[in-house]
């Protein structure tokens, strides 16, 4: 993952396993082949790096979060994992493919990320990624903003840690870097949160910490409860919370 979000790797594995579950579709798009060298950018606790390695590929996983990488290395000792920043990385290795699931929206300098991906791909290599696209978690973002502005006088735009580009914007960045975009899709994926009534609160705790750093623990708790009350009509159905995810999925080739 990226940015200064504090990741709780146990919580990530036990409550947010859907991240890796959905990522299996992206692994299918990657279609790893035996013997290929593949870089997993923002690998989290390593489940998809492991999935990719099952095809016989040699995988290197990198994440900014040290606890995530520790957990990944503990779960999958045979895979090479390292701590590193996706906006600024230099490795000795080159890869046949770079893969990334649910991580790039934490990196607000996409040009730097794409330059790093390009530099680490062999000619003919592919970049396959999925992350939040334009309008991702829009109801949640808007409601956080309303509560922070009205109740705490905070500027939510400055606190927002996420980058959710449109398909046109991101395809253009890929082309400007020199890639040939062979696939791009932007689609809705309403995603059921775990823990029924507490689902949104858990999601905010796991992912939206940045917005609340200026608040005390009690204020944070109140703010999250108010957000849940306001967002309930839109996001709570049939006994569960659903995050209004919109994904951007791309495949791009570095020409030979
Ligand atoms: C996402 O996977 O789309 C996402 C996760 C956490 C925060 C924002 C977006």
Dump pLDDT digits (tens) for 186-232: 999 999 998 778 999 999 998 999 999 999 999 999 999 999 999 99
pLDDT digits (tens, 9 = 90+) for 28-72: 999 999 999 999 999 999 999 999 999 999 999 999 999 999 999
Q: Whose CA is nearest to atom 5 of ligand 1?
A: 207
Kindly state whether residue 223 falls inside one of the protein's structural domains: no
- What is residue 107's predicted lDDT score, i.e. its pLDDT? 97
Kindly state whether residue 132 falls inside one of the protein's structural domains: yes
Kindly state whether residue 62 falls inside one of the protein's structural domains: yes
**What is the average per-residue pLDDT within 6-29?**
73
pTM assigned to the model:
0.92
- What is residue 20's predicted lDDT score, i.e. its pLDDT? 72
Kindly state whether residue 168 falls inside one of the protein's structural domains: yes
Kindly state whether residue 212 falls inside one of the protein's structural domains: no
| Count of alpha carbons within 13 angstroms of residue 119, beta-carbon side | 13
pLDDT digits (tens, 9 = 90+) for 89-145: 999 999 999 999 999 999 999 999 999 999 999 999 999 999 999 999 999 999 999
Helix, strand, coil percentages (3-state) for the chain, rounded to 5, are 45, 25, 30
* Alpha-carbon distances of 161 from 4, 9, 66, 214, 219, rounded to whole Å: 9, 19, 19, 14, 20
What's 193's DSSP letter? P
Confidence of residue 87 (pLDDT cuts 50, 70, 90): very high
Kindly state whether residue 73 falls inside one of the protein's structural domains: yes
Tell whether ligand 1 has an atom less than 6 A from the beta carbon of residue 132: yes
Instruction: Please give the Cα distance from 114 to 176 (Å, whole number).
Output: 10
Q: Whose CA is nearest to atom 4 of ligand 1?
A: 132
CATH assignment at residue 104: 3.40.50.150
Site to substitute for ligand 1 among 6, 245, 248, 249, most atoms within 8 A of C-beta: 245
Kindly state whether residue 157 falls inside one of the protein's structural domains: no
Domain enclosing residue 98, as ranges: 9-136+162-194+245-253
Kindly state whether residue 57 falls inside one of the protein's structural domains: yes
Cα-to-centroid distance, 183 and ligand 1 (Å) = 21
Count of domains observed in the chain:
1
């Amino acid at each position: 993952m990226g940015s200064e979000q504090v990741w709780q790797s146990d919580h990530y594995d036990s409550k947010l396993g859907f991240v890796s579950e959905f990522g299996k579709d992206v692994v299918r798009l990657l279609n790893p082949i035996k013997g290929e060298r593949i870089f997993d950018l923002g690998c989290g606790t390593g489940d998809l790096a492991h999935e990719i390695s099952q095809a016989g590929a040699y995988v290197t996983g990198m994440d900014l979060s040290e606890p995530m990488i520790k957990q990944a290395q503990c779960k999958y000792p045979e895979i090479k994992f390292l701590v590193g920043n996706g906006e600024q990385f230099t490795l000795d290795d080159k890869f046949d493919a770079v893969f990334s699931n649910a991580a790039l929206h934490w990196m607000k300098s996409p040009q730097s990320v794409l330059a790093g991906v390009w530099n680490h791909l062999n000619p003919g290599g592919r970049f396959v990624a999925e992350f939040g696209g334009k309008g991702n978690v829009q109801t949640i973002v808007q409601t956080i903003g309303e509560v922070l502005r009205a109740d705490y006088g905070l500027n939510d735009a400055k606190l927002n840690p996420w980058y959710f580009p449109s398909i046109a914007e991101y395809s253009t960045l890929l082309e400007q870097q020199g890639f040939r975009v062979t696939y791009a899709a932007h689609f809705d994926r309403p995603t059921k949160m775990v823990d029924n009534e507490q689902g949104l609160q858990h999601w905010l705790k796991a992912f939206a910490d940045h917005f609340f750093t200026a608040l005390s623990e009690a204020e944070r708790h109140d703010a999250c409860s108010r957000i849940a009350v306001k967002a309930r009509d839109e996001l709570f159905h049939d006994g569960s919370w659903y995050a209004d995810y919109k994904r951007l999925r791309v495949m791009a080739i570095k020409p030979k």
